[in-house]
Amino acid sequence: MRSRQRMLAAVMRLLLKCLRLSRRRRFKLVRQVEQLWHYGHLCLRSLLYNSFTNGDVVLDSLFEPVYWLVDHVTRWFGVVFVALVIGLTSSVVAIVYICLLPLILQTYTPAWICWHLAYGHWNLIMIVFHYYMAITTSPGHPPQAKHDLTGISICRKCIAPKPARTHHCSICNRCVLKMDHHCPWLNNCVGHYNHRYFFSFCLFMTMGCIYCSISGWEMFRDAYAAIERMKLLEKDRLQVAANQTYYQTPLPPFSFRQRAFHKSVVYLWVLCSSVALALGALTLWHAVLITRGETSIERHINRKERQRLQKKGKVFRNPYSYGSWHNWKVFLGVDVPRHWLTRVLLPSPHLPHGTGLSWDLPPCMTVQRAPLLAI
């Protein structure tokens, strides 16, 4: 009996020791996990901490895969977009010459005919010229040699000198002088040397679409009404053909030429009106940026800088803005009054002011600019 009690006591003591050991091991394991967690959290914060981090930076980081996909899709589909612009524009011009121009020559007065011919062909020439120059003109790239530039930074992506107002294009994989954005409809970057061509193309294309929409409004209403009548008559003709007897004949159908004419007029008006709304909004936005003397990229940079200085009680002033009127003169390259005709209203391949590497006072400015920062 005593031997059994001793054996049972020994087993109980052994179980208690095992429980103590397992509890110690469990506490030790939990302590190690906590230490690893705190160490990993500290390492993560030390690697990712940045005093300039805000909501915009976090969103940019989250959307980085989307940006990568868009960049690669835009790079490969740029040729398709250019072909689409050329195809749609050519279709509109063909419809105007084949369908609308004969009606204008038959029904309008000689004064209106001269005005339509003059304005229409002038607008078309300006669109074709500026689009061709925008897609074929290089936006400008900084030189690779470091000794050619002074007071510049280094691009962290291409490890090359980056002058002021220069930014790296992830689609072209190069730095672009005074980069505004990469336009897939041009398959080219919009920068220092082709910014004027891009804006002029948007402006004259919007004017041309508005001109076609206003001029073709009455024709569009008549063509739309004719198409509705076609549908009704086609429905009646099918009913008559299904129920006709030997003394009944079906209604005469519309010819293919009539159908093509009316549908072409509707297509012309819908396309021009849609493009006028979309491209007109883009043109107005770029006009506001030009008035401010900044690009699309600089707008975001200047806004952040303005907010940062506002907290310190200072006022930010754009160092590349010369005033609304002078900003337009610098952008369009107007140095003397006659340039409004020869360089703005007529096709002109003149170069913009400056080289894009340095930004000196333009010739049209007679007073010095305001300082960058003011208390």
- The residue ranges of every structural domain in the chain are 62-240+254-358
What is the longest distance spanned by two Cα atoms in the chain? Answer: 134
Q: Is the pLDDT of residue 147 over 60?
A: no
Q: Do strands 161-162 and 167-169 pair parallel, antiparallel, or not at all (unpaired)?
A: unpaired
Q: Where is pLDDT greater, at 76 or 137?
A: 137
pLDDT for res 19: 57
pLDDT of residue 212: 93
% of the chain exceeding 90 in pLDDT: 41
pLDDT range class, residue 256, cuts 50, 70, 90: confident
Which pLDDT value is given to residue 373?
A: 39
Contacts of 132 (CB under 8 A, 6+ apart): none
What integer pLDDT is reported at residue 161 of this predicted model? 82
**How sure is the predictor about 94, in pLDDT bands with cuts at 50, 70 and 90?**
very high
Name the more confident of 147 and 42: 42
- Could you tell me the pLDDT band of residue 241, with boundaries at 50, 70 and 90? low
Give the range among 268-277, 322-331, 351-360 with minimum mean pLDDT: 351-360
Residue from 266, 260, 271, 273 nearest 220 by CA = 266
Quote the mean pLDDT of the chain.
Answer: 82
Strand partners, 316: 373
Q: Could you give the percent of the chain with pLDDT greater than 70? A: 75
CA 51, 52, 54 angle in degrees (round to 5)? 110
Q: What is the 3-state secondary structure (H, E, C) of 281-313?
A: HHHHHHHHHHHHCCCHHHHHHHHHHHHHHHHCC
Residues 227, 223: Cα–Cα separation, whole Å: 6
Q: 208, 268 in Cβ contact below 8 A?
A: no
Give the pLDDT confidence score for residue 143 in this predicted structure. 84
pTM: 0.76
258-307, pLDDT tens digit by residue? 888 889 999 999 999 999 999 999 999 999 999 999 999 999 888 888 88
**Can you tell me the mean pLDDT for 67-81?**
76
Most confident stretch, 74-78, 116-120, 157-161, 215-219: 116-120
pLDDT at 8 over 50: yes
Q: Reply yes or no on whether 183 is catalytic.
A: yes
Task: Single out the catalytic residue among 183, 189, 209, 272.
Answer: 183
- How far apart CA 176 and CA 169 sit, in angstroms, is 7
* Integer Cα distance of 193 and 133 in angstroms: 10
At residue 51, the pLDDT reads: 63
